[in-house]
Structure 1
């Protein structure tokens, strides 16, 4: 596809894996859909950012201010909210970039930092779901024999390791992302400048394997076992497991939302890797994958807004926490007001 100022570089590529960074022209004509996409990208990103940041901050505030310590599942879900918040904090820079005709105005350092933040969300969010799936699996399938493994201190260590692992897998974005001047387009583009096609395919293959194939396999195994265990408990009417069941239903809802939002993106990414490895070919397929990359990236980013909504709609325990936090806040406010009135009353008595 010939590169045009309005479509260079592709937002999906620049944000996640750089599949449009090849500046060589091809014989494939550009699709008319690019103009519509590039016009509506900034508005969508801004709305997503405002709504997502407000909702995820609300979730983190509830988890942090609640008087009771977070459970293992809540620690993982809180870290998932933090990962979503990281992504949403980076997206406004891309909204400005797209609105600016893909002329990056923030410099080399921010080019690397913003893209590392986006890439970390891709890896960290899926692995926090892996951890919470394993926790639900252990809680329901092996509640007695492996109960010692489900301790908050282990969850915190697991979360720290997940952040470290996400940062490690984001190193290619840190190394290869750079700002380069393209005088033929009149822009300074923030894009992935891979040294050769082999390194590009290797990095994209790593994205597919570590952010999709491996974690989805683990999640699928745990989910099947969890659903089977829930069916057994429903038949046998285990009242003692009601709390675990409520937490598990929330986790399953979050997992389903993640799969709906992210699976299409990863499928298109795998097809794109095969296309650039010349296993697949054709202008029509190339144009379709380019457009699908755009649309499915937006669908994937929407997941960062859906998660906190699901906590409120599905999570009965979370709604209970919200109610208790507001009660705590009301009591503190009442106590503060009473203290102020008492102080004023004492002061007036002293003056009179």
Structure 2
């Protein structure tokens, strides 16, 4: 029975038909890179009164740049054009960076939602977590926590295996590497569940608080705040929920708890599809920067208004020159 299962695992090839995914990754890379560069340029403007939300968004931007650097490696590996050493580097380093970005994004979206709730309920004077010093301190703790979970996946020695055209990252892992990989997955799911509770509870309480004031004169501002809340909640659910539904059964298939080949292939493609959704937060984050950061929003508004004025001035100059020539 054991020999049959082993032979079926050798024959079962789940790491195939990945080329269609690469086109979407390439599109996400282009859009995300442009958006992240623009956000970096906007955030270089110094703020006299930097709020907690801006600090959390800047940490989100750092994670986005790490993801942007990682995507070309994944694209090359999935297309099958990467040399053997690059495949090893991707499995050891850049694949882990993708997950670092995912959980950094999840945690800081939780903090953004909580900070938005405290601002809406005007609880800033009662809570230390509204102070910039706390935001910087908790940001450092978050990075230390996520890196301490993910970095061992990069550092644990890997197995030497024979070169082949298609290989899964799990094949490089030693026994201790696989055990840490499983532990990492369950810790990551716990992080996701806790942050999901924070985001959903904070946003629901904020909506409830705003809805009480729906008849006041500042209804336009309330409506705008509701749009921001729905944007965060909708983006969070679309990007991260599908992946975490698939992750547990996929992890079990990686460690041969699930041995059926057809089911393994289905779970692998489900994992790749939902991972693509998770990575798409790279395109979603610039929208968050626009709605939640006055610095980012004012920089965009000012830039495009200047361009518009220059265009109008050039057009007026051109018309005046034509009228003189006539």
Q: Deviations over 1:308-331 (max 9, x none)?
A: 14544x56944334224667999x
Please tell me the root mean square deviation across aligned C-alpha atoms, in Å. 3.7
| Residue of structure 1 in register with 2:209 after alignment | 229
TM-score (norm 2): 0.76
- Kindly tell me the number of residue pairs found equivalent between the two proteins: 302
Q: State which of 39, 64, 84 in structure 1 corresponds to 2:19.
A: 39
The structure 1 residue matched to 2:85, chosen from 105, 112, 131, is 105
The corresponding residue for 1:264 is: 242
Match for 1:151 among 115, 120, 131?
131
Q: Is the 8 A contact 1:208 1:266 kept in 2?
A: yes
Q: Deviations 1:286-305 (Å, cap 9, x if unpaired)?
A: 33212111111111111111
The residue number in structure 2 matching 1:61 is 41
Q: Which moved more, 1:319-328 or 1:253-262?
A: 319-328
Report the CA distance shift for 1:75/1:316 in structure 2 as closer, same or farther (over 3 A): closer
SS at match of 2:57: helix
Question: In structure 2, which of residues 169, 177, 183 is the aligned counterpart of residue 202 of structure 1?
Answer: 183
Query: Unmatched 5+ residue regions in structure 1?
Result: 1-21, 331-352
Query: Is residue 158 of structure 2 the alignment partner of residue 175 of structure 1?
Result: no
Partners of 1:86 and 1:117 within 8 A in 2:
yes
- Kept in 1, the 8 Å contact 2:9–2:259? The answer is no
Higher relative contact order (CA 8 A, sep 6+): 2
2:108 paired with 1:128: yes
Question: For 2:85, what is the secondary structure of its paired residue?
Answer: coil
CA–CA distance in structure 1, aligned partners of residues 267 and 87 of structure 2: 30
Q: Relative to structure 1, is the Cα distance of residues 262 and 107 closer, same or farther in structure 2, using a 3 angstrom cutoff?
A: closer
Q: How far did 1:132 drift?
A: 1.0
1:162-220 alpha-carbon deviations (Å, 9 max, x no partner): 2222211113322337474324x25787555041665443232222222x222112222
Task: Name the SS of the counterpart of 1:146 in structure 2.
Answer: coil
> How far apart, CA to CA, are the structure 2 residues paired with 1:151 and 1:127?
18
Q: 1:316 and 1:194 mapped to 2: Cα distance?
A: 45
SS at match of 1:261: helix
Cα 1:82–1:172, aligned 2, differ >3 Å: closer, same or farther? Answer: same
* Alignment equivalent of 1:296, drawn from 265, 274, 287: 274
Moved more, 151-160 or 169-178: 169-178
Using structure 1 for the length normalisation, give the TM-score: 0.71
CA contact (8 A) 2:29 2:68 kept: yes
Partner of 1:5: none
* Distance change in 2, residues 1:203/1:154 (3 Å): closer
